[in-house]
Amino acid sequence: MAELKKALKLRTVVATSAGMAMATSCYVAGIQIANMVAGQTAWIAILVAGIMCMFSALCFSELSGMYPSAAGLKLYIEKAFGEKTAIIIGAFYVICAIAIVGPETHVLSKVIGEVFPKVPALVWIFLFLGVIALINLRGIIVTGWVQDVLSYTMIAFMLIVGIYAISISGVEMKEFFHPGDAMSVVNAAAVGVFLYVAFEWVTPLAEEVTDGMMIPKGMLMAVGILSVTYVIFITGMTSLIDKGILGASPIPHMIMGEELFGQAGIYGFAFMSVMASLTSYNAGFMNFSRFMYAMGRDNVLPRVFSKLHPTYATPWFAILFMFIISVIASIYIFFTEEFMRLIMVTAAIEVIIYIAMAVALIKLRFSKKDDPRPFKIPGGILIPIITIIFFLVLLAGIYTEDITVLYIMVVIFAFCVLYTMTVVPILKARYEARMAKRVPRRRRPGGSG
């Protein structure tokens, strides 16, 4: 059976983990965070969310070290709580991947519309998604190289522009240290999780790295880089321009670009918006196609998802599916403009995933205490417990902010349970039936077998 190629280095693991989160829609989420707290204190909520995501990254790191597989979190949950629970959580994860595409394409369409108003924005969206799908089909080495260039260019751009904006803003130091009431910070930190969303999606690349410890190292480094980058860039935006003005726009970074550099800033920031979206798309296609490949291999999705391209060793059907579902999600958000609610839904799903991983880690510490752990979180189960408590508080904050998100989550969970209980048994039965029909090859007379 064909296998994935082991070719990725640490730089690409970091670029992929950070790049998945570094999307254009994060500028909108960042301004929402800034408007939820007083003064220029968005950095506090961003860092709080970053620290908690770092704790979650530690949990993922230990689990990934124990079970390095393209199946990622599905395998971790399966080892802790059994296959059915793992499939439900895995299906939940699939919904998260679908939900995150809509807000990103919506913001990107607004940006492109500013620069090319006569060209339908959806044309550009289809073009970009198609290019990324073709790059991913071409092979992991090409895809990884593209991810390196996109991610590190975006990081450098956001840091340089953010520092420059702060330096010329003239904002007073006292503005950085009075965030308002504690509940506002909690709610802002809940939204702040979206800024790091999907950093852990790099775990499905565990079968394609040259060293298994690159996944834990890469995730931790990526969360740290994202924290610093977002703090500087979001603070730069809100220091330079009134938060109310930024919050009223679906493309606040374009306002920043014009304020800093005039018309040249509009074109420059539009180009960087495209790069940010491509960074996120590329990382998403690369990681999530591997996750669906593993689910197809385990007969949780139709077996065709496990097919690899004969030349490039890439999961071609999973990549094609990602392209189709991304286009559908983009069209939906383009016409409904429900992008902020989907941002909240995505953040809620990620928070639930982080809680589930911490619980799974605690369970495995007791049920499989003698299993090898190339990476082990120090301090016993303290960090997983803190992770669970904090993300439960954030989850409550999300539902307090918008109760509709809770109703949507209930529907999604019910769908995942229904899929697990009805569709998956059919897929497994069909595969077993095909295996049973296979006739073993007969030995030729006189042969040695």
First to last CA, the chain: 21
Confidence grade of residue 232 (pLDDT, cut at 50, 70, 90)? very high
Instruction: Assess whether pLDDT exceeds 50 at residue 449.
Output: no
Q: Which CATH class is domain 10-434?
A: mainly alpha
Among 188-192, 227-231, 339-343, which stretch is predicted with the lowest mean pLDDT?
339-343
Instruction: Assess whether pLDDT exceeds 60 at residue 257.
Output: yes
Angle between helices 252-261 and 25-36 (to 10 degrees): 90
Instruction: Assess whether pLDDT exceeds 70 at residue 441.
Output: no
Confidence grade of residue 401 (pLDDT, cut at 50, 70, 90)? low
Domain boundaries, the chain: 10-434
Predicted TM-score of the model (pTM): 0.78
Dist CA 188 CA 324 (whole Å): 33
Please give the C-alpha separations between residue 202 and each of 134, 282, 287, in angstroms, as whole numbers.
20, 12, 6
Dist CA 234 CA 248 (whole Å): 15
Model pLDDT for residues 70-125, shown as the tens digit of each residue? 677 888 898 999 988 988 888 877 777 676 676 677 777 777 777 777 777 778 77
Instruction: Assess whether pLDDT exceeds 90 at residue 385.
Output: yes
Model pLDDT for residues 18-52, shown as the tens digit of each residue? 887 777 777 888 888 888 888 888 899 999 889 98
* Helix or strand run (H / E) with residue 443: none
